[in-house]
Structure 1
Amino acid sequence: MMLNHKKVAIIGAGPVGLTMAVLLQQKGVEVNVYERDLNAQTRVWGGTLDLHKESGQKAMKKADLLDQYYATALPMGIKIADEQGNILFTKEITPENRYDNPEINRNHLREMLLGSLADDTVIWDMNFTGMEENDGQWLLHFKDKPDVKADLVIGANGGMSKVRKYVTDAEVEETGTFIIQGDIPQPEKSCPEFFNWCEGKRVMTAFEGNLLVANPYNDGALTYGVIFKKPEQWGGTDILDFHDTEQVRHFLSEKMASWCRLYHQLFQSTSFFVGLPTRRIPLDKPWKNTRALPVTLIGDAAHLMPPFAGKGVNTGLLDAFILSENLTEGKYQTVAEALEDYEQKMLAYAKEAQLESSKNELEMREINFTFKSLIQ
């Protein structure tokens, strides 16, 4: 195998980086994952993830984790409501669709993947700052930590990846949409009326260019996102202070003033807000074909896209599936050939995923948008 006696360094212990490590380690590859989080108990914040059969679940199956994913994830129905709380459409969970794309908490997914790796695979508290060629290997630099050597570097450290510049000159750009995400611990006590109204289903509401998506079951919390076109007067900065919970509550209450009190209960019960401008990485620029040593990208580091088609993590897991096969199945003579084939394939399917996400994003900002077309 081309990676015999070679060391692989994966930067980033998100679901894509960890899955990549599992798939390589199962083939006997020497691999370490370097993650800036302090330790494995550091909470990963954010909404649940749903893994699709043709991509995310495909990678889980190859990693021998599909049954564990099914046992851990929660199949969830969907309610579409109007701004007055009237139910317009309901999608129930059935024996036929329960395994289509069940939702899994990000921390539970991380725990599942870590449990499939050797104990010393992930090196925590390692904030990657850069790398350079050194005697035929990469010399990786970390903030206030010793340097590390590797023969192959895989950047899996998200949309703002510092590995990207070694592979492409493409720069992250905003798409014009903004998401305010809220987190409500113990929603059955904090906002019981809204929590009970969800009936265990995800709730989606759209009205006059404002959209809300809520999930009542996210490891004991209710998480939701309010999605809207970023106001032009905000310019390149966010005018809200997301550490000031009351300010954000007031903004949402004013913005959604015509929505019924059910939604306002949600805003007033929220204890934690985050503001997220949606971003993408243009994929029309060719990647660098002259690199000092083997290095590539997977996941958001390679193809960051808005979250409006459920394709982000699933495309990243497909990256891990294809790249791990290229590197371990004996189809290629050199690492460079394996990377080139992976990147050609990835750029093609990632462009399709980005286009679908962008199409949905533009439709979702329309005044008369309905979610129904996206979930059937």
Structure 2
Amino acid sequence: MLLKDKKVAIIGAGPVGLTMAKLLQQNGVDVTVYERDLNAQTRISGGTLDLHKGLGQEALKQAGLLEDYFDKALPMGRTVADSQGNILFSKTTIEEERYDNPEINRNDLRLLLLNSLKSDTVVWNSKFTNLKTDNEKWILEFENGVIATADFVIGANGGMSKARKFITPATIEYTGTLMIQGEVLCPETSCAKFNKLCNGAILMTSGKEGLLVANPKNGKVLSYNVIFKSPDEFIRNDEVFESTDGIRKYLFNRFSEWDKCYKELFEATSSFVLWPTRKISLDDQWKKERPLPITLLGDAAHIMPPFAGQGANIGLLDALILSNNLTNGKFETIEEAISDYEQKMFVYATQAQFETAVNEAAMQSPDFSFLKFYR
């Protein structure tokens, strides 16, 4: 096997990095994951993930975790409402759709993957800072002063990954959309009218002021995203976005003509996170010659906005293809296995980015409506 007696270091304990670790570990590979979070209990914010057939689900199936995913994930319907809180469309999930693409909380997915690994696989509180070579080994440096060595490095630590510079000069590009992510504790009481409008389904609302997508069943919280073209205030780093109260006031003003149930939602929000949407374009700038085996997976390779639901799924497909290449005996060298994976990834990830860009452009249109997806 290509990785016999080799040490593999994966940077990043997100879904992609942990899935890659599982797929390698079950084939007897010596793999260690380095993660900046303090420990396994560190909470991950963000919306739920839905894993698609043939993509994310296929990777979990090969990892022997698909049934565990189905046990923890929720099949969710869709509700489309207008800005005045009137329901325009409602769809429940029927039994035949139970396994299509159920939604899973990010923390639940992380624990599912962690529990499938050897207990010492992940090294926590390890923020990656630098990489260099010495005596035919990769030397990994971390902010806490720890030094590690590896024969093969896989960067799976997101769009701002510092490992990328060893492979490509590609940099982050902002796509022109701002997402304001909010979380509401105890939505049954703190924003009862809005929670009732959701009715246990993912709620989508669109208007000239922007879009709103909410999930009332994201673990123990209701999470939502408000989406619109980046305003001048944000581009100028206006202080309005520097505090929870400032963001709340901005939303009240921007959506002043929307029904009071949406304002109830903003008022009940305990925390906001700003996400200016980003991408990394894929091209032929990836270095063919590298001092030692190294590659990228997931957002570290091809971050894209979430408007086609492709990011996590494409990243898990990365892990599936690369792990198979490294363990199926079809390649003579690690470098050949990496090159084959990267050439395939360029094709399907570029297509996913294209689909995402088409959706993003449509969503920025003043006459965009979620109804077009369902009628």
TM range (shorter): over 0.9
Structure 2: distance between partners of 1:69 and 1:172: 32
Do 1:175 and 1:278's aligned partners in 2 also have CA atoms closer than 8 Å?
yes
Structure 2: distance between partners of 1:92 and 1:235: 39
Measured after TM superposition, the shift of residue 236 of structure 1 is: 5.9
4+ residue stretches of structure 1 with deviation over 4 A? none
Structure 1: distance between partners of 2:273 and 2:250: 13
What are the within-5 Å matches in structure 2 for residues 15-26 of structure 1? 15-26=15-26
- What residue is the counterpart of 1:36 in the other structure? 36
What are the Cα deviations for residues 35-73 of structure 1, in whole angstroms up to 9, with x where unaligned? 000000100111111000120000010000000000000
Q: TM-score, normalised by structure 2?
A: 0.98
Does residue 337 of structure 1 match 2:336? yes
What are the within-5 Å matches in structure 2 for residues 319-338 of structure 1? 319-338=318-337
- What residue is the counterpart of 1:312 in the other structure? 311
Do 2:85 and 2:197's aligned partners in 1 also have CA atoms closer than 8 Å?
no
- What residue is the counterpart of 2:372 in the other structure? 373
What are the within-5 Å matches in structure 2 for residues 67-86 of structure 1? 67-86=67-86
Structure 2: distance between partners of 1:186 and 1:150: 45
Do 1:51 and 1:314's aligned partners in 2 also have CA atoms closer than 8 Å?
yes
Q: Which moved more, 1:92-101 or 1:349-358?
A: 92-101
Indicate how the Cα distance of structure 1 residues 216 and 84 shifts in structure 2: closer, same or farther if over 3 A, else same.
same
Unaligned runs of 5+ in 1: none
Structure 2: distance between partners of 1:233 and 1:72: 40
Q: TM-score, normalised by structure 1?
A: 0.98
Structure 1: distance between partners of 2:262 and 2:36: 36
Structure 1: distance between partners of 2:101 and 2:153: 31
Count of matched residue pairs: 375
Structure 2: distance between partners of 1:174 and 1:62: 35
Do 2:209 and 2:255's aligned partners in 1 also have CA atoms closer than 8 Å?
no
Report the secondary structure of 2:171's partner residue: coil
What are the within-5 Å matches in structure 2 for residues 214-293 of structure 1? 214-235=214-235, 237=237, 239-242=239-242, 244-293=243-292
Do 1:209 and 1:368's aligned partners in 2 also have CA atoms closer than 8 Å?
no
Report the secondary structure of 1:343's partner residue: helix
Please report the RMSD computed on the Cα atoms of aligned residues, expressed in angstroms.
Answer: 1.2
- What residue is the counterpart of 2:206 in the other structure? 206
Structure 2: distance between partners of 1:179 and 1:49: 16
What are the Cα deviations for residues 4-46 of structure 1, in whole angstroms up to 9, with x where unaligned? 0000000000000000000000000000000000000100111
Indicate how the Cα distance of structure 1 residues 51 and 210 shifts in structure 2: closer, same or farther if over 3 A, else same.
same
Do 2:191 and 2:261's aligned partners in 1 also have CA atoms closer than 8 Å?
no
Percent identical pairs in the alignment equals 55
- What residue is the counterpart of 2:121 in the other structure? 121
Indicate how the Cα distance of structure 1 residues 297 and 375 shifts in structure 2: closer, same or farther if over 3 A, else same.
farther
Do 2:55 and 2:314's aligned partners in 1 also have CA atoms closer than 8 Å?
yes
Do 1:252 and 1:267's aligned partners in 2 also have CA atoms closer than 8 Å?
yes
Measured after TM superposition, the shift of residue 193 of structure 1 is: 1.4
- What residue is the counterpart of 2:101 in the other structure? 101
Structure 1: distance between partners of 2:120 and 2:146: 17
Structure 1: distance between partners of 2:274 and 2:233: 16
What are the within-5 Å matches in structure 2 for residues 121-160 of structure 1? 121-160=121-160
Do 1:209 and 1:364's aligned partners in 2 also have CA atoms closer than 8 Å?
no
Measured after TM superposition, the shift of residue 238 of structure 1 is: 5.5
